[in-house]
A and B are shown apart, each in its own frame.
Chain A
Amino acid sequence: MSAPNKSYDPVEVEALKPEEIDRATEEALAAVAAAGDLEALREVKVAHAGDRSPLALANREIGALPPHAKAEAGKRVGQARGAVGKALKARQEELERERDERVLVEEAVDVTLPYDRRPAGARHPLTTLSERIEDVFVAMGYEVAEGPEVEAEWLNFDALNLGPDHPARTMQDTFFVRGQAGSPREEDSGVVLRTHTSPVQIRSLLARELPVYVICPGRVYRTDELDATHTPVFGQVELLAIDEGLTMADLRGTLDHMVRALFGEGLGTRLRPSYFPFTEPSAEMDMVCFVCRGASVGDPDNPCRTCSSEGWIELGGCGMVNPRVLTACGVDPERYSGFAFGFGIERMLMFRHNVEDMRDMVEGDVRFTRPFGMEI
Chain B
Amino acid sequence: MRAPLSWLREYVEVPASESGRDVAARLIAAGLEVETVEQTGAGLTGPLVVGRVLAIEELTGFKKPIRYCQVDVGRGPEDPQNIVCGATNFAVGDNVVVVLPGAVLPGGFEISARKTYGHVSEGMICSERELGMGEDHDGIMVLPPEAEVGADAIELLELVDEVLDIAVTPDRGYCLSMRGLARETATAYGVPLRDPALLDVAAPNAHGYTVEVADPLGCDRFTARTVSGLRPGAVSPIWLKRRLQKAGMRPVSLPVDITNYVMLELGQPLHAYDRHRVEGPIGVRGARSGEKLTTLDGVARVLDPEDLVITDDRGPIGLAGVMGGAHTEIADGDGGAAQRTTDVVIEAAHFDQVRVARTARRHKLSSEASRRFERGVDPEAAAAAAQRTVDLLVLLAGGTVEPGVTEVRTPSGPRTIRMAADHPDRVAGVGYGRETVVRRLQQVGCDVYGDVGPSALEGGERSTEGPEELTVTVPSWRPDLTDPNDLAEEVIRLEGYENLPATLPRPLPGRGLTERQRLHRRVGRALAGAGYVEAPSYPFVGEAVFDQLGLEPGDARRRTVQLVNPLSDEEPGLRTTLLPGLLGALRRNDGRGSHDLALFETGLVFLPTGAETAAERLPVTQRPTDEQVASLDSALPEQPRHVAVVLAGARERAGWWGGGRPADWADAIEAARTVAAEAGVELTLVSGRYVPWHPGRCAALHVEIDGSRTLAGHAGELHPRALKALGLPPRTCVMELDLDLVERAGAGAMRAPHVSTFPVATQDVALVVDASVPAAEVESALRAGAGELLESLRLFDVFTGEQLGAGRKSLAYALRFRAFDRTLKAEEASGARDAAVAEAVERTGAVLRGA
Interface residues of A (CB under 8 A from B): 113-124, 126-127, 131, 134, 138, 140-144, 146, 148-155, 158-159, 161, 164-165, 167, 170-171, 175-180, 183, 185, 187-191, 193, 206, 211, 213, 219, 223, 225, 232-233, 241, 243, 245-250, 252-254, 256-257, 270-275, 280-284, 320, 322-324, 327-331, 337, 362-367, 369-370, 373-374
Contacts and interface: CB of A to CB of B under 8 A. Distances in A.
Contact of A247 (B30, B31, B428, B594): B428
Contacts of B527: 121
A330 B563 CA distance: 32
A151 B505 contact: no
25 contacts: A118-B651, A121-B533, A122-B528, A122-B533, A123-B528, A143-B511, A149-B639, A158-B618, A178-B564, A187-B564, A189-B612, A189-B614, A193-B574, A219-B603, A223-B567, A247-B503, A248-B427, A249-B502, A252-B500, A256-B502, A273-B497, A281-B493, A322-B485, A323-B483, A374-B528
Given A190-B617, A254-B505, A364 B535 contact: yes
A150 B637 contact: yes
Given A249-B429, A323-B485, A274 B615 contact: no
Contact of A250 (B33, B429, B567, B633): B429
A167 B374 CA distance: 10
Contacts of A127: 524, 534, 536
B455 to A, nearest CB: 14
A131 B512 CA distance: 12
Contact of A148 (B498, B500, B639, B652): B639
> Closest 7 CB pairs between A and B?
A330-B623, A273-B31, A247-B429, A364-B535, A190-B615, A249-B429, A364-B585
B564 A185 contact: no
Interface in B515-538: 517, 521, 524-525, 527-538
A273 B30 contact: yes
Contacts of B655: 114-117
B206 interface: no
A248 B508 contact: no
Given A191-B615, A270-B498, A159 B620 contact: yes
A233 B599 contact: no
A271 B497 contact: yes
A254 B504 contact: yes
A249 B503 contact: yes
> Most chain-B Cβ atoms within 10 A of its Cβ — which of A225, A249, A363, A365?
A249
B562 interface: yes
Given A243-B505, A252-B502, A177 B488 contact: no
B414 interface: no
A373 B528 CA distance: 8
Interface of B: 28-31, 33, 169-172, 354, 357-358, 361, 374, 426-430, 483-486, 488-489, 492-493, 497-498, 500-514, 517, 521, 524-525, 527-539, 561-567, 574, 582, 585, 588-589, 592, 594, 596-600, 603-604, 606, 612, 614-618, 620-624, 629, 632-633, 635-637, 639, 651-653, 655-657, 660
Given A233-B538, A249-B500, A362-B538, A121 B653 contact: no
A142 B511 CA distance: 8
B538 A282 contact: no
Given A153-B615, A177-B561, A177-B564, A367 B594 contact: yes
B513 A138 contact: yes
Nearest to B593: A367
Contacts of B620: 158-159, 161, 324, 327-328
Nearest to B491: A281
Nearest to A142: B510
A171 B651 contact: no
Given A121-B532, A324-B483, A250 B504 contact: yes
Contacts of B358: 165
Contacts of B33: 272, 274, 284
Given A117-B657, A122-B533, A365-B592, A281 B489 contact: yes
B653 A119 contact: yes
Contacts of B567: 223, 225, 232
A150 B489 contact: no
Contacts of B566: 175
> Most chain-A Cβ atoms within 10 A of its Cβ — which of B565, B592, B599?
B565
> Most chain-B Cβ atoms within 10 A of its Cβ — which of A116, A152, A219, A328?
A152
Given A121-B528, A323-B485, A374-B525, A154 B510 contact: no
Given A189-B635, A328-B621, A123 B585 contact: no
Nearest to A131: B521
B509 A154 contact: no
Given A213-B507, A327-B621, A283 B615 contact: no
A222 to B, nearest CB: 10
Given A144-B517, A364-B599, 20 more contacts: A115-B655, A118-B653, A121-B534, A122-B528, A123-B524, A141-B506, A167-B361, A170-B361, A190-B615, A248-B429, A250-B505, A252-B502, A274-B31, A283-B497, A328-B622, A363-B588, A364-B533, A366-B597, A374-B525, A374-B528
> Most chain-A Cβ atoms within 10 A of its Cβ — which of B508, B597, B660?
B508
B169 A252 contact: no
Nearest to B426: A247
A198 to B, nearest CB: 14
> Most chain-B Cβ atoms within 10 A of its Cβ — which of A191, A324, A364?
A364
A70 B599 CA distance: 86
Contacts of B506: 141
Contacts of A193: 563, 574
B462 to A, nearest CB: 25
B357 A167 contact: yes
Contact of B427 (A124, A153, A206, A281): A281
Nearest to A248: B428
A165 B536 contact: no
A241 B504 CA distance: 11
Nearest to A275: B169
Nearest to A269: B502
Contact of B504 (A115, A143, A257): A257
A271 B500 contact: yes
B588 A330 contact: no
Contacts of A167: 170, 357, 361, 374
B653 A117 contact: yes
Nearest to B601: A364
A225 B567 CA distance: 7
A234 B694 CA distance: 34
A126 B524 CA distance: 12
A201 B521 CA distance: 22
Given A180-B612, A225-B567, A152 B632 contact: yes
Contacts of B530: 121
> Most chain-A Cβ atoms within 10 A of its Cβ — which of B509, B563, B651?
B563
Given A120-B531, A121-B533, A178-B563, A275 B170 contact: yes
A120 B537 CA distance: 20
A301 B194 CA distance: 43
A329 B637 CA distance: 23
Contacts of B621: 327-328
A327 B618 CA distance: 13
Contacts of B636: 148, 150-152, 191
Given A127-B534, A175-B565, A191-B635, A275 B171 contact: yes
Contacts of B536: 124, 126-127, 362, 364
Contacts of A245: 426
Contacts of B511: 143
B185 to A, nearest CB: 15
B622 to A, nearest CB: 7
Nearest to B585: A364
Contact of B562 (A134, A178, A213): A178
B533 A273 contact: no
Given A117-B653, A367-B594, A280 B486 contact: yes
Contact of A176 (B357, B535, B564, B589): B564
